[in-house]
Chains A and B, each alone.
Chain A
């Protein structure tokens, strides 16, 4: 006899007797609350009863006046517990509702999963991995090919390019990025100037801070910071936009209308990336110099002296090597963002994955390419 069940809030009760015959009586509301309370205890009781029983166990359901899905799950689990204890079970007074609820559980015992469990070995798993890498490489190469073709055709027929879209993207990726680029570049200039001025002051060479800051900004840090910001702001946006279009079958709709997604969606974004990246880098350089000049005021270097020193320190090759890098970075960020967008699978989660992957891939490529440029420029003597 279960005494705790009687005081339970849902009026569900059960009792088990062995004499004269093994018998389990359930009554009341067999709902999810009852099952939450009694799932473990009732099943333990059933197993004991099943082991003690010599003949059939009688389960009396006459008092059950309501049974929901969870209640049926419990009854089905009891059935299986008795079966495991080799006891035959007989339900007594099973109402229409209980029968109806129990039916799918019993049907499920005979249902084979539509897909066999994954029992493949490590070799197959490894080969699948190789296959995936191959496919990814293939899709990347073919994308680059399609894009090159689209750019080529855009050069031959500039009227076919969607310039309206291109300008809209350029505005979003370029003009609207000015506040954050200003902030980061200004602070970068301030930090660079401050850190180097402290060291330079020991040798009385504060004025050479202008050389250090201007060359490192123009050649290296301006394009690099701009590219990382572009990847975080716009590369991610490209991947999310195209990815969502892919999930919503908009990309398929374009294809069936005879529009090439690369030409229609990707090309304007890539052109916009090519256009805004050098402009943003140049802007970042200027703002960085202003930040440095502000700091140098505090070290007794006037504006005029600072900018005179900057113009004598910088060469055209410093400026152009930075801008060439910026163009390449802009191309990489836009291309990777669009590629990841087009590689999106299905569902909301895959859009998130493409966005993450767009930013991560862009930043890795930017840093690697920056290294390549450093070696290249060194050997070219630029």
Chain B
């Protein structure tokens, strides 16, 4: 899409929290996706789906400004993150929380120190208040008793949850989660789904998830987009159950009905 002004096309009501326009992304000569257009609305649980190597995580990294797109613009919380620099960029990043695929906890700090770090960087709260907020966030993900542990002393699933606690310690408007339930057991994964729903429904957080855990997607997603590697674009967009039942795109069908076809095969 050409001719998009660098100003925010978002209306004043702030309904749309993230707007992606004409986004082309890739590395050097390799183009992963061409001309992506979509919006994420406030309080929505929005899932980015796609096969391995389709660029889901890369799209997420573009949305948090880690990479510059080859073309197009992304507005996050009212500002264009593809063009923001310095203080403006920091102001956007202050309003988003990110959980990376591997957790990315700092190994030399306890869970409490990890969760407290964004507060130390971005707020002037007294130490006592920072500790209280960080501990409460750890409690929210079920790790209240482990605040003084080092990341290496807890399991991979616990590290992931601790990373979510750190990501939401500043009460971000938008929470980006890269594969939150990959590698978790079904019970922990279901707890995590409930937590994500609570954050969106009661606290009004907008949540963008990269995932391919179908059970979790059908349980919590309000809307999904499916990235298709072949066509380098969005194969389908909408509510996952409706897509599964109505989409005539063969790849979408295979993706969303995987469990069904597996059952058919084994029957």
Residues of A in contact with B (beta carbons under 8 Å apart): 31-32, 35-36, 39-40, 68-70, 72-74, 76-77, 96-97, 100-101, 104-105, 107-108, 111-115, 345-350
Contacts and interface: CB of A to CB of B under 8 A. Distances in A.
A345 B136 contact: no
A324 B204 CA distance: 73
B108 A345 contact: no
B129 A347 contact: no
A374 B138 CA distance: 60
A69 B139 contact: no
A113 B147 contact: yes
Contacts of A35: 125, 129
Contact of A346 (B107, B128, B169, B202): B107
A141 B27 CA distance: 49
B140 interface: yes
A100 B198 contact: yes
Interface string B137-181: 101100011111111100000000000000011110000000000
A104 B149 contact: no
A74 B129 contact: yes
Interface residues on chain B, size class: 20 to 34
B124 interface: yes
Contacts of B150: 347
A109 to B, nearest CB: 10
B125 A70 contact: yes
A108 B139 contact: yes
A70 B108 contact: no
A73 B152 contact: no
A97 B204 CA distance: 9
A39 B171 contact: no
B144 to A, nearest CB: 4
Given A70-B171, A111-B139, A347-B108, 8 more contacts: A72-B133, A97-B203, A104-B136, A104-B140, A113-B145, A114-B145, A114-B149, A349-B108
17 contacts: A32-B171, A35-B129, A36-B124, A69-B133, A69-B169, A69-B171, A70-B125, A104-B137, A111-B139, A111-B144, A112-B145, A113-B148, A114-B146, A114-B149, A345-B152, A347-B108, A347-B150
Interface string B111-143: 000000000000111101100110111011000
Contacts of B133: 69-70, 72-73
B136 A69 contact: yes
Contacts of B108: 347-349
Interface of A is mostly: helix
Contacts of B145: 111-114
B23 to A, nearest CB: 31
A69 B139 CA distance: 12
Given A39-B129, A70-B125, A111-B144, A32 B107 contact: no
Contacts of B139: 104-105, 107-108, 111
B57 to A, nearest CB: 19
A70 B147 contact: no
Nearest to A113: B145
Contacts of B136: 69, 72-73, 76, 104-105, 108
A31 B94 CA distance: 14
Report which residue of B123, B132, B136, B168 has the largest number of chain A beta carbons within 10 angstroms of its beta carbon: B136
B149 A346 contact: no
A220 B234 CA distance: 70
B202 A100 contact: yes
Given A113-B148, A347-B107, A347-B151, A32 B132 contact: no
A25 B219 CA distance: 40
Contacts of B168: 69
A107 B129 CA distance: 17
Contacts of A114: 145-146, 149
B144 A70 contact: no
Nearest to A69: B133
Nearest to A102: B136
B144 A107 contact: yes
B107 A39 contact: no
Interface string B195-207: 0001000111000
Contacts of B204: 97
Contact of A39 (B106, B126, B147, B152): B126
Contacts of A32: 123, 125, 170-171
B107 A348 contact: yes
Nearest to B198: A100
A75 to B, nearest CB: 10
Q: Pick the most buried of A40, A73, A77, A100: most chain B CB atoms within 10 A of its CB.
A: A73
A77 B106 CA distance: 29
Contacts of B170: 32, 69
A283 B145 CA distance: 60
B128 to A, nearest CB: 8
Interface in B33-58: none
A74 B129 CA distance: 7
A368 B255 CA distance: 66
B202 A96 contact: yes
Nearest to B124: A36
